Amino acid sequence: MKVSDIHATDGAVTLTGAKGVPYVLAPANGAAPHTSAEYGAGSGLVDPGFNAGDLTAWNATGGAKVATAESGDNVAVLGTDRSSLSQKVTGLQPGKRYSFSANVEIGPGERRATTLSVDAGTIAANTFDTTPAANSMASDAKNGTYSQRASVGFTAPTNGTVTVALGAVAGKAAVTFDDARVMLDTSTALPPTAQ
């Protein structure tokens, strides 16, 4: 819905609007330049930050859903049954090392076995049951939470396709995920130490 015309003065615009109402600036007589947000474009994952507000891009099981964190950020929350999210990733370079990672938070002071895994013909997995450190980094969107970055390394198979998954066993402890990533592993092995 068009609200009004805005004119730039010295290359800047000033908006006056209602608090909590989003506004979109579009070219004169035109539509907004982007019709689809394409969350995750170029990352290999579709909607890695759950910004669409649903789990359409993910294969969700066990009552997983999207919720809004206190920060206003969308996160995936697993159900209390055995619950998981998975997604196929294509276009990886065969034989290259990658990492799959996500911000993970298990309810503070609680335990629940949680796994990040990659099926590349063989399963690579990282399982843990607590995220014990409070995030006190003032500039981090996860400040004030127990969200921590977890990852698992893998080698891309000859077809360049893997399935990544985030999951947890049944349990009452809340488990949230956000900001999933698949990245080329550019680390270099340390040289052997001299004897």
Q: pLDDT tens for residues 121-177? A: 999 999 999 999 999 999 988 999 999 999 999 999 999 999 999 999 999 999 999
* Domain residue spans of the chain: 59-184
Give dist(CA 81, CA 172) in Å, integer: 8
Architecture of the domain defined by 59-184: Sandwich (2.60)
Q: Please report the pLDDT score of residue 28 as a whole number.
A: 66
- pTM (two decimals): 0.79
Tokens standing for residue 114: 């949680």
Amino acid at 7: H
Give dist(CA 161, CA 35) in Å, integer: 28
Q: Which long-range contacts (CB under 8 A, 24 or more apart) does 92-95 make?
A: 92/44, 92/156, 92/160, 92/161, 92/162, 92/182, 93/156, 93/160, 93/184, 94/156, 94/157, 94/158, 94/159, 94/160, 95/155, 95/156, 95/158
Terminus-to-terminus CA distance in the chain, angstroms?
Answer: 73
Give mean pLDDT in consecutive 10-residue pieces for the chain, a chain of 195 residues.
75 82 71 69 90 95 94 94 97 96 96 97 96 92 92 96 98 96 89 82
- Beta strand 97-106 with 148-155 is antiparallel
